[in-house]
Amino acid sequence: MSAGPVSRVRRTLRVESASAGQRLDQALAQAWPEFSRGCIQRWIEAGQVLVDGAPRRCRDRVWGHEAVALDAELVAVGRDSPQAIPLAVVYEDAMLLVIDKPAGLVVHPAAGNPDGTLLNALLHHAPGLAAVPRAGIVHRLDKDTSGLLVVAKTLQAHCSLVAQLKERTVHREYRALVVGELAGGGSVAAPIGRHPTQRTRMAVVPDGRAALTRYRVLERYPGHCLLGVELATGRTHQIRVHLAHVRHPLVGDPVYGVRPRPPKGCAPALVAAIQGFGRQALHAVRLGLEHPETGRPMAWEVPLAADLESLLELFRREAARGTDPT
């Protein structure tokens, strides 16, 4: 593997009390999701991470409130190859790239998806992203969640967006089609962490990280609702876990959902559409943030993905059929 561009990375943080008892590398990987755990481990082993002013080992435990300082060189390694994968670019300038991610596109390469990912597409679209952590990806959408995602094109933009996400000033709004009928809007404040026995899943657990999801009802259908959902925090699978926790899982969710059971008497086309919807019915519809260079508020909105819009149209027809007095 060949080395690429070199950039200087500096970060400071105060370890959260929720991380008490974790390994240092684990706690930092959670606090700095823009860097891989392997990258963080290399920095720790090289003495480029100081905890309360002193170097530590990866396996050393943290207990909360320690002051951590990182001063390291980020070397882009030629492991992830650029690939000519089409991108739906919503906005682009020298600092930012906003895309409308389709369902089915994995964000980062992993064991099951070594290439063909958003990261590979980004490196082809803007080769300079090789010098930015994780090719500028500062937040994620699950493989089968569609919609808006922002990418930092420079280290300055990267630092700004990471800070905005941490300060919870990035506005992210979703559309979610859920099972069950809700009386009104509300919020879910419940800590999220790894499932105690199924490690590939997340769950609401007492020792998880604080998470807050707000929702409102936009449309009601037989046995289902369309919600507008806003994230106050950004935990892994947060919307999917929180809505399942309050017994209103997303339609089509293969991990946290329920077996599709369309209401009795539904039109055959709607029954088939519900049972055949092959992903979680979740779309990131709006994104708002401050421009990293000018500080100017910016916002984007995209239409719903075609598959979700088609399913909703069938639900609307069914709702209209149910209210037709004839």
Cβ partners under 8 Å of residue 48, min gap 6: 70, 71, 72, 73
- Residue at which a domain ends, from 167, 190, 220: 167
Beta pairing, strands 282-290 & 146-152: parallel
- Residue at which a domain ends, from 73, 102, 130: 73
What pLDDT was estimated at residue 301?
A: 98
- Residue at which a domain ends, from 73, 105, 125: 73
What pLDDT was estimated at residue 3?
A: 44
| 24 SS3 class | helix
Are residue 190 and residue 240 in the same domain, yes or no? yes
Catalytic one of 100, 142, 253, 307? 142
Q: Give me the count of residues in the chain.
A: 326
Residues in the chain predicted with pLDDT less than 50, given as ranges, are: 1-4, 77-78, 325-326
Q: Which two tokens stand for residue 126?
A: 């803007």
Asked if 142 is an active-site residue, the reply is yes
Are residue 316 and residue 177 in the same domain, yes or no? yes
Task: Count the domains in the chain.
Answer: 3
What pLDDT was estimated at residue 166?
A: 85
Domain containing 142 — which CATH number? 3.30.2350.10
In a domain, 123, yes or no: yes
The residue segments making up the domain with residue 309 are 171-322
Are residue 158 and residue 185 in the same domain, yes or no? no
pTM for the model: 0.79
Are residue 131 and residue 187 in the same domain, yes or no? no
What pLDDT was estimated at residue 29?
A: 87
